[in-house]
Amino acid sequence: MRPETIAIRTQTERTAEKEHSTPLFLTSSFVYDSAEDMAAAFADDSLDVNIYSRFSNPTVDEFIKKVCLLEGAEDGIATGTGMAAVFSTFMTFLSSGDHIVSASAVFGSTHTILTKYLNRWGIDYSYFDMNHPDSIEALIKPNTKMLYVETPSNPGLDIIDLDYVAAICKKHSILFVVDNCFATPAIQQPLKFGADLVVHSATKFIDGQGRVLGGVVVGNKDLIKQLYLFVRNTGPSMSPFNAWVLSKSLETLYVRMDKHAENALYIAKKLEGNPALENVKYPFLPSHPHYAIAQKQMKNGGGVLTFELKSGIEGGRKFLNSLTWLSMTNNLGDTRTIASHPASTTHSKLSEAERDAVGITPGLIRLSVGLEHPDDIVEEILQALAH
């Protein structure tokens, strides 16, 4: 079956009730037929049996299975949030004395983990510029265990050649972890280009309607086994209800991502050359510096674009305050178009120098393009720019 069909038709085995829509197993624990079965369940971590919903749950398993099939992965683990997925991945595969190489263009909370928390466990990091991937190899040390990257990056929409980075990681026996949140498996499958693990904040486009939180990591089954044990024992598990919502959301993922991308490209073209803007950035605009790479490894440009206001940080605030119906929030990946000003919100904890280093300029506006009529979105942006 093709991915669109897989996303719709993969579901938990039908129960005796003969339900058509997938059921929700909203339970904290599971029962056994005998004391011996219960003892066996706790004695063997590899036993395929449900014990407790922090360990596994049929509804959560359905969601994981779908993401694995769409990403081309052997196995996966779901977490309560996207950041729980990122942190669990770091904590599972990095130990005291290890070193991680990361793109400097990462989400603000990921930056905080790398710069403020990992050193508590004696884990060091080095940043590289995604615009200069030839600088990566010089950063690798004998104790480097992982390379982490978002592509496209949040919020700057930088893109890196996954084949190129995977070859470096393979050469140096480094775990290659890719955050695929902006693209989703409907647009890009990093495992096909050599990634070892793929991370998602399912809160974003996978949910698609701004309802629930969730994270998921997929990849090689031996790696996921280690990650599963960390999540099982430390507790950042996904709730069955959220998994049920997210599993249903995957049924419309391909249709939604095509429309998000269609709208985003249309809007990007309409805004390019506007006298109030320094630039417009979108992966499938020929003016994007990594346009050729995007064309190679992405089906379309996704649902996020950015533009730089000539009026700087105050202009960014004024733009947001001039919006009449377009949403002003820090989330993205919704059916509703969302505008945010990273310099004063999601990346405000970074110093000005740190923001400059990752391309978060004072007047940068991130637009998560929704599913409204594109001309309505354009008209709303233009009227806000005119103020």
* DSSP states of 119-142: GGGT-EEEEE-TT-GGGHHHH--T
Q: Which long-range contacts (CB under 8 A, 24 or more apart) does 171-177 make?
A: 172/137, 172/140, 172/144, 174/101, 174/140, 174/144, 174/145, 174/146, 174/147, 175/93, 175/145, 175/146, 175/147, 175/223, 176/146, 176/147, 177/89, 177/146, 177/147, 177/148, 177/149
Closest by alpha carbon to 351, among 115, 14, 80? 115
Type of residue numbered 329 = T
| 328 token code pair | 């002003």
Tell me the average pLDDT across 302-327: 95
Average pLDDT over residues 213-235: 97
Q: What is the mean pLDDT of the chain?
A: 95
Q: Do domains 3-252 and 253-385 have the same CATH topology?
A: no
Predicted local confidence at residue 47, as pLDDT? 65
pLDDT number for residue 96: 98
Region 35-63 average pLDDT: 90
Q: Which CATH class is domain 3-252?
A: alpha beta
At 310, is the pLDDT very low, low, confident or very high (cuts 50, 70, 90)? very high
Q: CA neighbours within 13 Å on the CB side: how many for 23? A: 13
**In 3-state terms, what secondary structure has residue 324?**
coil
Amino acid letter for position 21: S
pLDDT at 354: 76
More confident residue, 284 or 42: 284
- Give the Cα separation of 249 and 243 in Å (integer): 10
- pLDDT of 261 strictly over 80: yes
The CA distance from 129 to 97, in Å, is 24
Q: pTM of the entire structure?
A: 0.95
Can you give the pLDDT at residue 26? Answer: 96
pLDDT digits (tens, 9 = 90+) for 21-32: 999 999 999 999
- Structure-block tokens of residue 109: 């909370």
Can you identify the CATH homologous superfamily of domain 253-385? Aspartate Aminotransferase, domain 1 (3.90.1150.10)
Sign for the CA dihedral angle at 182, 89, 197, 241 comes to negative
Alpha-carbon distance 266 to 36, whole Å? 62
Q: Residue ranges of the domains in the chain?
A: 3-252, 253-385
pLDDT at position 104 over 70 = yes
Q: Is the pLDDT of residue 177 over 70?
A: yes
- pLDDT at residue number 305: 98
Q: Give 131-154 pLDDT, tens digit per residue.
A: 999 999 999 999 999 999 999 999
Residue 345: the pLDDT is 75
